[in-house]
Amino acid sequence: MSKADLIVGLQWGDEGKGKIVDHMAQTHDYVCRFAGGHNAGHTIVINGKKYALHLIPSGVLNAKAKNIVGNGVVLSPKDFIIEMEQFDDLKGRLFLSDKAHVLLPYHALIDQAKERMKGDKAIGTTGKGIGPAYGDKIARVGHRLGELLNPEKLTAKILAYFEQNKAIFAAMEVETPKEADLLAELEGYKAVLGAHIVDTTQLMWKIMDEDKKILLEGAQGTMLDIDHGTYPYVTSSTTVASGACAGLGINPKDIGKVTGIAKAYCTRVGNGPFPSEDFGDEGDRLRKAGHEFGTTTGRPRRCGWFDAVAMRHAVRVNGVDQVSLMKLDVLDGFKEVKVCVAYEVDGKEIDYVPYELEDATPIYKSFPGWDKTEGVQDFDKLPDTAKSYIKALEEMIGTKMGIISTSPERADTIIR
């Protein structure tokens, strides 16, 4: 029986998981998503053609790999179908959990309305409806993909839901859909998605029993986890490694090697605490050199230095076996490179993530910079100062950096 390899983001998302998942998808039979929705996103270029992936697992780009979207995910049929249209034949290669929750257009309208109402306390969500869809799931008033197989019944259920929540929808200026329109919409979804909807829990067990090579693809990052991130400035799902169990119906013993993805610096989109954020020229330089603009929303990302305290937290929460350090080349040419090694809270130095991260002031250690790591494919060929930086990070977080990426190109990857 095989154990599944797992990839998880260790910071605030956008760590560059796409490159590593794409790389690992070449050697896996199945790639499985376990949490989140179309708030995630990465772009992959193959033979000059660009593919935008939000929810379809990255195995779709490898003709031999099959793809599973687990029950822990919230799926917008409308957006998912647009994503599917990029690929020719997904029959027999794409399996969607009948227990995954359906994200409908009104979830996005509620998300956006709630953000507007929060004013300067807004979370800065992607506006895709993720929070309201998960909210309905937990409140036990959501709709599952399996229900799409009976559009008439689901239409009646959704209309009853609107009736029960009339006052809320009125305040949010969300109109009740017309019965005939809703039915037509759901029938359209069934026509495209119906053949892909299965019991993915049974499928997971079967492929593990058959010793298939399985890759579990995390979305967002540890610091955006609903429990272990910077609540309430988080997404609404369990983004950490343990989310793969609940989100796919596997057990903790089914998980093998955990690879955590981290950038050589830090970024965050949306609001919320980010102690090592750099508001000056160096932050700007990281944003430009790292092309730090969101793939899903196009928003400029907040940029700053590697946070070793938050990283230790992430390594422990996820049980990380190795870290894949991304975008080392973005630090090329800096005279010195800073790392947040501890926080100061109420005049006291601490080495863990406190309850209120916004009260933490970073304590930095500086390292000498280097000229160029871009394109280096061999650890020994890195400048000495870059090697020292990586070794210092390894010591601080107690984990090996087994993969180091020095450019977006597939080949520019150091494996140690």
Chain residues in the site for ligand IMP (CB under 6 A): 13-14, 39-40, 123-126, 128, 130-131, 220, 224, 233, 235-236, 269-270
Active site residues: 14, 42
**Minimum CB distance to ligand IMP smaller for 236 or for 259:** 236
Classify each residue of 266-293 as buried b or exposed e, where b means 16 or more C-beta atoms within 10 Å of its C-beta.
Answer: bbbbbbbbbbbbbeeebbebbbebbebe
Question: Is residue 222 a contact partner of residue 311, using CB atoms and an 8 Å limit?
Answer: no
* CB of residue 124 to ligand IMP, shortest distance in Å: 5
Q: Given its phi and psi angles, is residue 236 left (phi above 0), alpha (psi -120 to 50 degrees) or beta?
A: alpha
* CB of residue 109 to ligand IMP, shortest distance in Å: 14
* CB of residue 219 to ligand IMP, shortest distance in Å: 6
Q: Cβ-closest residue to ligand IMP? A: 270
Instruction: Report the C-alpha gap between 378 and 380 in whole angstroms.
Output: 6
* CB of residue 36 to ligand IMP, shortest distance in Å: 7
Q: Which two tokens stand for residue 368?
A: 């000498």
* CB of residue 236 to ligand IMP, shortest distance in Å: 6
DSSP character string of 327-375: -GGGGTT-SEEEEEEEEEETTEEESS--S-GGG-EEEEEEEE--S--TT
**Minimum CB distance to ligand IMP smaller for 124 or for 354:** 124
Q: Which two tokens stand for residue 71?
A: 């029950």
**Minimum CB distance to ligand IMP smaller for 37 or for 146:** 37
* CB of residue 149 to ligand IMP, shortest distance in Å: 28
**Minimum CB distance to ligand IMP smaller for 220 or for 373:** 220
Question: Which residues have C-beta within 8 Å of that of residue 130, sequence separation ≥ 6?
Answer: 36, 37, 39, 74, 103, 107, 111, 235, 236, 237
3-class state of residue 23 by DSSP = helix
Q: β-strands 4-9, 214-217: how paired?
A: parallel
**Minimum CB distance to ligand IMP smaller for 125 or for 407:** 125
**Minimum CB distance to ligand IMP smaller for 336 or for 358:** 358
3-class state of residue 323 by DSSP = strand
Question: Which residues have C-beta within 8 Å of that of residue 366, sequence separation ≥ 6?
Answer: 336, 337, 338, 339
